[in-house]
Amino acid sequence: MASIEVRKETCVGCGECVPACPFGAIAMENELAVISDECTLCGACESSCSYGAIIIRTGETGETEIDQYSGIMVLAEQRDGTIDHSTLELLGEARRLAEADGSSVSVVLLTEEAGDWPAKLISYGADTVYLAEDAQLKHFRTEPFSRIAEILIIEKKPAVVLAAATTTGRDLMPRIAKNLNTGLTADCTELAIDPESGALLQTRPAFGGNILATIVCSDTRPQMATVRPRVMKAMDPDENRVGVIERIKLSPLNLESRTEVLEFNPLDEGEVDITEAEVIVSGGRGLKSPENFALLQELASLLDGSIGASRAAVDAGWVPYPHQVGQTGKTVQPKTYIACGISGAVQHRVGMQSSDRILAVNKDETAPIFEFCDVGFVGDLFEIIPFVIKEIKRRRK
Amino acid sequence: MRIVVAVKQVPDTAEVRIDEERGTLIREGIPSILNPFDEYALEEAMRWRDELGGTVTVMTMGPPQAEAVLREAVSMGADEAILLSDRAFAGADTWATSHTLAKAVEKMGDVDIVMTGKQAIDGDTAQTGPSIAASLDWPQITFVGFVRELNRDSIVAERYVEGGCEVIRSSLPVVITVLKDANTPRLPSLRGKMKSRKIEIPVWGREYLELPEDEVGLDGSPTRVVSITTPEIISNGEIHRGDPAELAKLMVDSLLGTEAF
């Protein structure tokens, strides 16, 4: 049985631990920290104490404690009150994993105004929606979001916690995992439950996509993972699914933050976020000059798509960095990816290989891109693409 | 301004080859480099040091040979370097790595900012930066594409997120992780190169950092890699050759019926 102790001889009565406790379980009495029964042994005070005066003894650890954890918790992502599609994908995946061992799926929604989203989240696979609504939750902010999630995780003890591997999930999850002293696997593309141990098998690409590593977190809970968007499938919403909506109690302390969002500047019109594009026309070294990207731009516009680029084209200064696809750029998954003059080195491949359909034009028959594209055209893009543009215009008439 | 830049020595993943038979990475002969994203963090730190005064300390956790990337950073203009190296640190995941780095930052004392690259190109986790912030209980700004303002008490930075840019103000001390957009790293200078050859780099180990054995390296890591496989490349695409006009027609044919139309 784990226990917490304040060492009287070491405690100097500084009071640092009082605000550190998310549960308000510490009070100062006669210049000594006193811990009440509200304590959940979360350890926040232990790490806040500069004098090492607070000690948590874990005592009997191992299987018994791990057995107390069950179910899958998804941290939802929203912007301006709209749930990101990645959350629905996570619910679909959580549902699939939960079927394996009959556990339940919960989702945590922190927002300004939830509207009808809690019901929708249930229709997409959640059994329980933990909901907090507050004007201060309008924008994602690391500290309140991680603090609220940590408290909820300590209380609800999910075996698995998932978030999308977006800039939000990748900001939030490491903080939670570090504070809860548990493991986190980044950017998973495959999840499964090990039938023998019941552990979550978390598979992710590493070494620039050269390998797939499967990772487990065997001795601590929850098992946490961020999951690459657009890889898992959302389930078809079922309006008849039943679920519970439970409100999270917020204290002003939970909402405190040392950062503030001064403004949010959406991308300008025409300046599309390529990670959300359905068609990408992408150019590489074979484009030879910045002017030639105008040709790709014309094709992209015809197809209602965006421009992508390989690192070579970006490093040459032909296309700005936000368009870079690949390991040191963005990961995209459009319905159609047209690679023009791109050799298809592994660093580029990892950023676009999940596209539904890959078309490639390259002069070099031995270019690696021809090994994994769906349809390849061996030839000079400066000859082929103008014909393609003409042909599309002709057929559209 | 006292800035720490946490860097990593990584294998140049562009050079990594796979042993097709055994499905393992061939790491022999692969050059080790300073993680490219960390160069942007280093440049950002030096840019602000040049403007506000202060020092830039580069720090890495790794085997003794990781000292090479610290010397490289000094040749580019870092003032000091610290190597965290101990056999006990081996096998660390992001929890144990960030725990050790954070302890070293605490040990230095009076640090205003920790900067690091958005992610390392070998692990690609992007977890160490925010985990350092959690360990230190500092605020964090991740995926920073531009630092607008920095002064003694606060920082204003642009955080590039899906669909736009958040402008965030944070109090100091703070941890930020830096994107390629932020700057263009400078090249090593002659003076820097000379300094990098002479500089004494202290090596801090587990005992010096007063870290218990079960909080570092493999023992301190909640996660374990249980298997490694090589991704399958499906090469069943149709490849067309021939007259450009004919190829163009085929291409439009294959686009038909997709969402592009």
Model pLDDT for residues A112-146, shown as the tens digit of each residue: 999 999 999 999 999 999 999 999 999 999 999 99
Q: Is residue A266 part of a domain?
A: no
Q: Are residues A98 and A242 in the same domain?
A: yes
Average pLDDT, stretch B30-47? Answer: 94
A112 and A225 in a single domain? The answer is yes
Indicate whether A200 belongs to any domain. Answer: yes
Residue A376 and residue B143: Cβ atoms within 8 Å?
A: no
Please state the pTM of the whole predicted model. Answer: 0.83
What phi, psi does A34 have (nearest 5°)? -120, 130
For residue A158, whether the previous peptide bond is cis, meaning omega lies within 30 degrees of 0, is: no
Task: State whether A28 and A169 are in the same domain.
Answer: no
User: With bands split at pLDDT 50, 70 and 90, how would you rate the model's confidence at A62?
Assistant: very low
Q: Looking at the structure, do residues A95 and A238 belong to the same domain, yes or no?
A: yes
pLDDT band per the 50, 70, 90 thresholds, residue A337: very high
Residues of A in contact with B161 (CB under 8 A): 166-168
Q: So what's the pLDDT on residue A258?
A: 97
Which of the pair, A338 or B254, is modelled with greater confidence?
Answer: A338
**Residue B204 pLDDT > 80, yes or no?**
yes
Inter-chain residue contact B163 with A266, CB threshold 8 Å: yes
- Looking at the structure of chain A, the number of domains it has is 3
Across the strands, what pairs with B224?
A: A216
| Pair (A221, A244) in one structural domain | yes
What CA–CA distance (Å, rounded) separates A217 from A201?
A: 8
Instruction: Say if A260 is an interface residue toward chain B (CB within 8 Å).
Output: yes
Q: State residue A269's pLDDT score.
A: 59
Give the range of the structural domain holding residue A227, as residue numbers without chain letter: 64-255
Contact B240, A375 (CB under 8 A): yes
Residue B129: list chain A partners with CB under 8 A.
174
How close A56 gets to chain B, by Cα (Å)? 15
CB spacing of A279 vs B13 below 8 angstroms: no
In this complex, is the C-beta atom of A177 within 8 Å of any C-beta atom belonging to chain B? Answer: yes
Q: Do A359 and B25 touch (CB under 8 A)?
A: no
According to the model, what pLDDT value does residue A341 have?
95
All residues of chain B having their beta carbon less than 8 Å from the beta carbon of residue A388 are: 248, 251-252
Q: Give the residue-averaged pLDDT of A248-258.
A: 92
The one-letter code for the residue type at A143 is E
* Of A345, A351, A338, the residue nearest A295 (C-alpha): A338
Q: Which residue out of A171, A201, A279, A365 would a mutagenesis test of the B interface target, given it has the greatest number of B Cβ atoms within 10 Å?
A: A171
A94 located within any domain: yes
Using a CB-CB cut-off of 8 Å, the residues of chain A touching B127 are 170, 173-174, 177, 184, 186
CA distance A7 to chain B (A): 19
Which structural domains are found in chain B, ordered by start? Answer: 2-215 (3.40.50.620)
Q: Please tell me whether residues A234 and A94 are part of one structural domain.
A: yes
- Which of the listed residues A203, A221, A255 is the one where a domain comes to its end? A255
Parallel/antiparallel/unpaired status of strands B113-117 and B174-178: parallel
What is the pLDDT, as a whole number, of residue A59? Answer: 47
Q: How many CB atoms lie within 10 A of CB A223?
A: 29
Choose among B16, B95, B222: nearest Cβ to A210.
B16
Average pLDDT, chain A: 90
Looking at the structure, do residues A325 and A382 belong to the same domain, yes or no? yes
What is the band of A63 on the pLDDT scale with cuts at 50, 70, 90? very low
Per-residue pLDDT, B257: 59
Give the span between the Cα atoms of A258 and B138, in whole angstroms: 9
- Residue B76, both tokens: 């580019």
Residue A397 pLDDT class (50, 70, 90 cuts): confident
Q: At which of A255, A284, A311 does a domain end? A: A255
Q: Is the pLDDT of residue A227 over 80?
A: yes
Question: What is the number of alpha carbons within 13 Å of residue B170 lying toward its C-beta?
Answer: 24
The pair phi, psi for residue B162, each rounded to 5°, is -55, 125
pLDDT above 70: residue A321: yes
Residue A326: both structure tokens together: 């690949």
